[in-house]
Amino acid sequence: MNKSIGWDKEMSSQNLDYNESPNRQLWSVDWSPNDKFIAVGGVDSIVRIYHGNNLKLHKSFSIDSWIHVVKWNPDNSTLAVATLNKEVLLINLVTETVIILNSNGGSRAIDWNFNGEFLAVGDLDGGIKIWDKNGKLVKFFEKEYGPDVAGKSYLGLDWHPSQNIFVAINFQIQIFDSTAGELKVMEHTNKQAIMLCVNWHPSGEFFVIGDYGHNWEGEGVPSLLHFWSKDGKHLKTVSGSKKEYRNISWNKDGSLLATSSDVLRIWSNNGILLKESSPDSTNYLWGIDWNSKGDRIVTSSRFQTISVWDSNAKLIRRIDLGRVRK
């Protein structure tokens, strides 16, 4: 379904009081490939587009659902938006139109392939759909799970940087071919932990998973990074976070991995902790992404802050949406 976008009027964050409600998360942030814009989405159901150079609001767009993920197509004009309900949206900023994709059960696991031709959507009911960039359904994969599998909702998904294969995670780690279906299944080494994020290294030789730590019952399980080879071999596990890993992102040349949890951390490509930001009380980080030059990182947070950092985890600029008008 296609429809025109009704952009919201520009919002101001001045003369506001801080709101410490825990349900104001900005879950996702994504820098456009040309660094011109930053897209942000979260619990308040507003897609916000900021200028990448100064964090000034460009446009905003309200939808009738919480937003789980925002992801730019390599064409720099199309933004995929995964929501809590059954819809995935393809928003075109040039034509100001939106295509609505039917994704059963909602989703928080979406990604474009390396050339932007396909969008993979892992839904909360355990199915994976592949759409083309014009909104045509290309493939549908649905897997049967045994009674020993703790959960089937896909919580993270990432395409290989140069091939049409992708990793999708729930309580298992699955590698899919876009046409042939499931290629490999691996058991998570931190078996009781929920996995929320996965990112291929730009070389395509391995990928890293950041797990949430807690299982569905909320019991204390450590939050860890896990390195896996392309052929499904576990390479190493790395500790260091004091809270859950919610998103992770490699810089363009693969020399640095940025992670969002209790603070921003920057790691070497073999899992050595290099830098971390100062703690910010309980304002834990959620979304994270590098710019194309690899000298800036953008994050979003639990209390609706959006921050830009340098590659040494030093804060450059921050805006605060987590305030309410007096």
Q: Contact, 273 vs 225, CB < 8 A?
A: no
Task: Tell me how long the chain is.
Answer: 326
Q: By mean pLDDT, which of 100-104, 140-144, 260-264 is the weakest? A: 100-104
Return all residues near 85 (Cβ < 8 A) that are at least 6 apart.
64, 65, 106
CA 76/CA 91 separation, integer angstroms: 11
Average pLDDT of the residues in 180-202: 89
Q: 171: which 2 tokens?
A: 């309580």
Average pLDDT of the residues in 81-94: 89
CA 323/CA 286 separation, integer angstroms: 18
Is 7 part of any domain? yes
pLDDT recorded at residue 168: 96
Q: What is the pLDDT of residues 39-66, one digit of tens each?
A: 999 999 999 999 999 999 999 999 888 9
Q: Tell me the average pLDDT of the chain.
A: 88
Is 77 part of any domain? yes
Residue 18: which pLDDT band, with cuts at 50, 70 and 90? very low
User: Counting runs of H as helices and runs of E as strands, what totals does the chain give?
Assistant: 0, 31
Q: Cα-Cα-Cα-Cα dihedral of 192, 129, 112, 238, to 10°?
A: 10
Is 84 part of any domain? yes
Q: How many CA atoms lie within 13 A of 271 on its CB side?
A: 17
- Residue 61 CB neighbour total at 10 angstroms: 21
Instruction: Please give the share of the chain, as a percent, with pLDDT higher than 90.
Output: 69
Provide the residue type at 221 as one letter. V
Is 85 part of any domain? yes
Q: Is the pLDDT of residue 17 over 70?
A: no
Is 129 part of any domain? no
CA 88/CA 115 separation, integer angstroms: 20
Give the pTM.
Answer: 0.91
Q: What is the pLDDT of residues 277-301, one digit of tens each?
A: 988 756 899 999 999 999 999 999 9
Which range has highest mean pLDDT (136-145, 148-157, 227-236)? 227-236
Is 228 part of any domain? no
Residue 190: which pLDDT band, with cuts at 50, 70 and 90? confident
Q: Is the pLDDT of residue 155 over 70?
A: yes
Q: By mean pLDDT, which of 140-149, 178-187, 229-238 is the weakest? A: 140-149
CATH of residue 70: 2.40.10
What are the backbone dihedrals phi and psi of residue 223, each rounded to the nearest 5 degrees, phi first? Answer: -95, 125
CA 238/CA 126 separation, integer angstroms: 28
Higher pLDDT, 139 or 213: 139
Q: 30: which 2 tokens?
A: 């994504």
Residue 150: which pLDDT band, with cuts at 50, 70 and 90? low
Is 297 part of any domain? no
Is 90 part of any domain? yes
Q: What is the pLDDT of residues 220-275, one digit of tens each?
A: 678 999 999 999 999 999 999 988 999 999 999 999 999 999 999 999 999 999 99
pLDDT recorded at residue 51: 97
List, as one string, the DSSP characters of 223-256: --EEEEETTS-EEEEE---SS---EEEE-TTSSE
Higher pLDDT, 78 or 125: 78
Radius of gyration of the chain (CA): 18
How many domains would you assign to the chain?
Answer: 1
CA 31/CA 8 separation, integer angstroms: 21
CA 30/CA 48 separation, integer angstroms: 11
* Closest to 299 measured CA to CA, from 255, 254, 245, 252: 245
The range of the structural domain enclosing residue 52 comes to: 1-12+25-102
pLDDT recorded at residue 188: 87
Average pLDDT of the residues in 179-207: 91
Q: Is the pLDDT of residue 1 over 70?
A: no
Q: Is the pLDDT of residue 115 over 80?
A: yes
